[in-house]
Chain A
């Protein structure tokens, strides 16, 4: 089932690198020094009217600003893998970039395992797969022990 021979490719190119220490591909605005993500959608800085954006690696770690899940399967263009396991989503604050970036939380972690302020790092995980490829997205994974909670109490 895990398909070791299958190729691992980003579900959409240009958002993150893959490998041992993946990072998000962001932009740094030439004029103001602010950052943006994704790179190819630029920023909204009126001081960067020339639109020059330099490609940079965003910080690999940050702290959870907030988090939640989706107990119902999201609609297309999300691709559901059956049986559906609720997607967990975190908004993560990057200290250097002074911005918050959304992302899925790595598999195995539920909302009961998370807290606002918790330190997380960037990993890649499988978004969906077919016979040839595993299609990857970026995910946030708490730094430290594996989760112990089995879910149930939603008062995180």
Chain B
């Protein structure tokens, strides 16, 4: 697969600003275009990640952003894939560029979120598993996160302190990030003193919902060369794979797993398969990775990702964390941005923000959170309804 050049990146700071999502997306887009030194009128394709919480303009986000930037006749599309929406939008842009339909594309996602638990759309919908899990069980998102945390405790002897250490590590990273919503260092006691939400997970270990926006300007390698950009950060792999039947690990928003009674479960589980596809496209593996941005929807889920990424053997994530390897300055820093713990989640922007962070890291522009000498980075992300994404970027 041919690579893409990342010409520019931009973000609107995460927060609870309560303004229109378009404003965040346009802010991020302007920064990304300026970073790329690309004129908006030269962009041939606008790829919007959809927000489902902001009415019709959110469902047609690509057009909403395009109009706010000024209609130029560019082609447009809008994508929704839950938390993986941003990378789905990037994937659509890649298709446009590599097919020759355009030279340079703008990828944008932004959200304005309500307070509290994310809940399903209104109305009685007993055919909708997302409605059913709330109505019949009371299974919120943190319930699913906690099931996985408890499982680590039972299988690998993980402790609540291990989970808290993830939050503490990421908060130390996030202090150096001007786009983070919570640029504050937390200690183990802070975590222990926050209320339990879903046992064993506490409030400070569960991702909040945030407002924010992120954007990328991407192009063909030829177009980058024509602009005189010789050594851009490149997208070497994009994964948006679905699970392979039977997926035997319970996940959002289902009431049950698939059954392995008729068909043997695949050797590689769903989350591992998300990353494996990005590695495969790039012709790389875990040993090549210098830095990773992973989806810490909860502190404990970051530990699962260490294993899905192949950074350590299954069951050894707690040891890897405690060794300091995943802190900045360690062997393989994870979430130098501060992760979701420092940001909270702005759903359609989040997977794009992961790519923004790695781009800054690979350009040596990450300031106080810089991972020294980073040349290859990978993102990992999970949505619901069988969505997830991974992007491999390199210099």
Which A residues are within 8 Å of any B CB, using their own CB?
Answer: 11-12, 14-15, 29, 32-38, 40-41, 43-47, 65-72, 74-79, 87, 89, 91, 96-104, 111, 115-117, 127, 137-138, 154-156
Contacts and interface: CB of A to CB of B under 8 A. Distances in A.
Chain B CB count within 10 A is highest, among A91, A115, A156, for: A91
Contacts of B149: 68
B101 interface: no
A99 B119 contact: no
A41 B257 CA distance: 12
27 contacts: A29-B262, A33-B262, A34-B258, A36-B256, A36-B259, A37-B256, A38-B129, A41-B129, A66-B151, A66-B154, A68-B143, A68-B201, A69-B199, A70-B142, A71-B195, A74-B139, A75-B134, A76-B119, A78-B135, A99-B248, A99-B259, A101-B255, A127-B135, A127-B136, A154-B196, A154-B199, A156-B200
Interface in B251-266: 254-263
Nearest to B125: A77
Nearest to B159: A155
Contacts of B196: 71, 154
Given A74-B140, A102-B137, A154 B200 contact: yes
A137 B255 CA distance: 13
Nearest to B114: A75
A100 B250 contact: yes
Question: What band does the interface of chain B fall in when counting residues whose beta carbon is under 8 Å from A?
Answer: 35 or more
Contacts of A115: 154
A112 B193 CA distance: 19
B73 interface: no
A126 to B, nearest CB: 12
B127 A102 contact: no
Interface string B135-169: 11111101100111111011100001000000000
7 closest cross-chain pairs (CB), A and B: A34-B262, A33-B262, A32-B262, A68-B146, A116-B154, A75-B119, A87-B138
Choose among B155, B200, B201 the residue with the greatest number of A CB atoms under 10 Å from its CB: B200
B132 to A, nearest CB: 7
Contact of B256 (A46, A99, A127): A99
Which of A11, A12, A70, A156 counts the most chain B CB atoms within 10 A?
A70
Contacts of A138: 136
B139 A89 contact: yes
A33 B151 CA distance: 28
Given A34-B263, A103-B137, A66 B120 contact: no
Contact of A76 (B134, B160, B197): B134
Contact of B148 (A15, A66, A117, A155): A66
Given A37-B256, A70-B140, A11 B135 contact: yes
B198 interface: yes
Interface core residue of B131, B197, B250 (most chain A CB under 10 Å): B250
